[in-house]
C-alpha cells in the first residue's frame, strides 16, 4: 500500500465538544414554560462555566447569564431564532463539557445544556426530556438526540442486539459533540471515524432554522456540520449506522523498541480493512517515555504481579511503543494466532485478556472512576490532536517522542491511531 494512502494520527488527547456562535436572548415567550427551561441557578451557571480542560488556572470562570434546558429541537430553534433576530450576545451548545479551553462557554450569553440534567420533576412540574434513542433493527440505524451520551446510545442499541460501528475511546461524550469534531478510535481504520457512519442529521442553524440534511438532501450543510466544530449549526438528531453487537473481545497488547517496526505493523494491520478479511477489529497504540507509565493507570492492563521494565526490553532511545489490538468474537478466536504471526513485536511482551464487548468499549470510564476516587480527575487536562502523514512520522518520532518528550518525562497518555486516508 502506498504512502499516499496512509495517515497516522498522533493523539496527545482527544476529548470533544460542539459549539455554536451567534447572538442570544433572555426575554422570549412562546406560551410554554420557558421560565422553567431557562435557568439562572448558581449550580447550573457554575457547571456551564467549566469544562474538561480546566486550563484557566486561577482566572475567574467565564459565566453565562443563563442556561437553557431544551426538551426538543423546536425549543433550541426558537431560542436561536430570537437571538438572531434581536441581536443579543452569544449562544453556545454544551454536551458533556469535554471542551479543552472554554469552547462551549459564553460570557454573559446563554449556554444550551444538551444533556438530560433537568429531566424529571422540578418545583412540582413534570418535565419531559429530549427524545430517547430510537432503533430501526431492519434498517440498521439508531436515531439519537444530539445531547445523548454514547454510553446511553450503546445501552439502547444492545437491547436489540446491535451497536454502532465506530467509537471514541471514552463513551461519556455527547453524540453532537463528537460528530462536530470527528469521533476517532481504533475502529476508524475499518469503518472510518464516527462522522463517516452518519446517514442523516437534524440541525438548527445560526438563524434558528430546523433543517434535515444527508448525502441526498441539503448535502452542503450535512458535510459542513459533520466535523465543523459547531460553527454551522447545532446537531439535534443523528441517524447512526449500527451492526450486530459482538459478545466478547480478545484484547492484546504487544511492545516494540523500534518505531519503524511498530508503524510498519500498524500499517499492515489497517491495510486488511474491508468485509470478509481476516483482520483485527481495533488497532491503536501508545508511546511509553517513562518506565512508570507502563505500569500506571493508563497501562493497568498489564499485571501488577509482573511489572514491565523498559530497561529489560532493549529500548531504542529509551522509548517503547505499545501496539493495542482487539478481535471481536462470539465463540472462536482461531483467526487471532494467524494475525499475530505476521507481526514483529518483542516476543516476551505479549499481554492478553478476554472480556465482554461492553466492558472493552467502556474501559476508560473505569479508569475515570479510579482517578475520581483519588481526587485525580478534576485537574487540568491539556490535550493536543495532530494528523501526521506517513512521510513525516519517523521525523516526528525523533523530534517529539525521543526528543522533546524523551528528555522531559511525561505521565500523560500519548496515543497513536493508524488511519486509512480513504476512510
Query: Which residue in 148, 152, 284, 324 is the catalytic one?
Result: 284
Q: What burial class does residue 380 get, using C-beta atoms within 10 Å of its C-beta: 0-12 exposed, 13-18 middle, 19+ buried?
A: exposed
Q: Is 395 a catalytic residue?
A: no
Q: Which helix (H) or strand (E) holds 223?
A: helix 219-225
Cα–Cα distance for residue pair 41/37, rounded to 1 Å:
11
Rg of the chain over Cα atoms, rounded to whole angstroms, equals: 22
Among the options 69, 96, 98, 273, which is catalytic?
A: 98
Catalytic position from the list 169, 202, 267, 281: 169
- Cell for 330? 462470539
Residues with Cβ within 8 Å of 191's Cβ and at least 6 positions away in sequence, in order, are 165, 166, 197, 423
Distance of CA 388 to the CA centre of its chain: 19
Answer yes or no: are the C-beta atoms of 305 and 311 closer than 8 Å: no
Calpha distance 39→65 (Å, rounded): 9
Active-site annotation holds for 344: no
Q: Collapsing DSSP states into helix, strand and coil, what is residue 136?
A: strand
Residue among 11, 4, 1 nearest 285 (CA): 11
Please say if 284 is a catalytic residue. yes
Say how far apart CA 91 and CA 224 lie, in whole Å. 19
Scanning 239-314, the segments in alpha helix (DSSP H) are 259-270
Active site residues: 98, 169, 284
Amino acid at each position: 500500500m502506498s504512502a499516499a494512502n496512509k495517515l497516522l494520527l498522533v493523539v496527545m488527547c482527544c476529548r470533544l465538544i460542539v459549539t455554536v456562535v451567534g447572538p442570544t436572548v433572555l426575554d422570549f415567550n412562546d406560551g410554554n414554560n420557558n421560565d422553567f427551561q431557562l435557568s439562572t441557578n448558581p449550580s447550573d451557571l457554575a457547571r456551564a462555566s467549566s469544562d474538561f480542560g480546566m486550563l484557566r488556572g486561577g482566572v475567574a470562570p467565564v459565566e453565562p447569564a443563563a442556561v437553557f434546558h431544551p426538551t426538543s429541537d423546536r425549543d433550541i430553534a426558537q431560542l436561536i431564532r430570537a437571538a438572531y433576530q434581536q441581536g443579543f450576545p452569544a449562544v453556545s451548545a454544551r454536551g458533556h463539557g469535554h471542551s479543552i479551553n472554554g469552547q462551549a462557554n459564553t460570557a454573559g450569553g446563554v449556554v444550551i445544556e444538551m444533556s438530560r440534567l433537568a429531566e424529571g420533576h422540578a418545583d412540582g412540574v413534570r418535565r419531559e426530556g429530549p427524545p430517547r434513542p430510537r432503533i430501526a433493527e431492519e434498517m440498521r440505524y439508531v436515531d439519537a438526540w444530539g445531547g445523548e451520551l454514547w454510553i446511553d446510545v450503546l445501552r439502547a442499541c444492545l437491547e436489540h442486539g446491535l451497536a454502532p460501528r465506530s467509537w471514541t475511546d471514552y463513551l461519556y461524550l455527547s453524540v453532537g459533540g463528537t460528530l462536530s469534531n470527528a469521533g476517532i478510535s481504533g475502529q476508524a481504520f475499518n469503518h472510518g471515524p464516527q462522522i463517516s457512519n452518519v446517514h442523516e442529521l437534524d440541525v438548527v442553524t445560526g438563524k434558528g432554522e430546523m433543517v434535515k440534511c444527508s448525502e441526498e438532501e441539503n448535502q452542503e450543510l450535512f458535510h459542513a456540520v459533520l466535523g465543523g466544530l459547531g460553527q454551522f449549526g447545532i446537531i439535534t438528531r443523528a441517524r447512526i449506522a449500527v451492526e450486530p453487537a459482538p459478545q466478547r473481545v480478545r484484547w492484546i497488547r504487544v511492545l516494540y523498541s523500534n518505531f519503524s517496526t511498530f508503524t510498519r505493523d500498524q500499517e499492515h494491520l489497517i491495510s486488511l480493512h474491508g468485509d470478509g478479511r481476516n483482520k483485527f477489529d481495533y488497532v491503536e497504540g501508545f508511546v511509553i517515555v517513562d518506565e512508570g507509565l507502563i505500569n500506571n493507570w493508563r497501562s493497568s492492563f498489564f499485571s501488577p504481579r509482573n511489572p514491565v521494565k523498559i530497561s529489560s526490553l532493549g529500548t531504542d532511545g529509551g522509548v517503547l511503543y505499545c501496539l493495542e489490538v482487539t478481535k471481536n468474537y462470539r465463540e472462536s478466536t482461531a483467526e487471532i494466532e494467524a494475525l499475530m504471526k505476521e507481526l514483529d513485536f518483542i516476543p516476551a511482551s505479549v499481554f492478553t485478556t478476554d472480556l465482554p464487548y461492553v466492558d472493552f468499549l467502556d474501559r476508560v470510564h473505569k479508569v475515570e472512576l479510579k482517578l475520581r476516587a483519588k481526587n485525580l480527575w478534576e485537574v487540568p487536562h491539556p490535550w493536543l490532536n495532530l494528523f501526521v502523514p506517513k512521510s513525516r512520522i519517523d521525523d516526528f518520532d525523533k523530534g517529539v517522542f525521543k526528543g522533546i518528550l524523551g528528555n522531559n518525562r511525561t505521565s500523560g497518555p500519548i496515543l497513536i491511531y493508524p488511519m486509512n486516508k480513504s476512510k
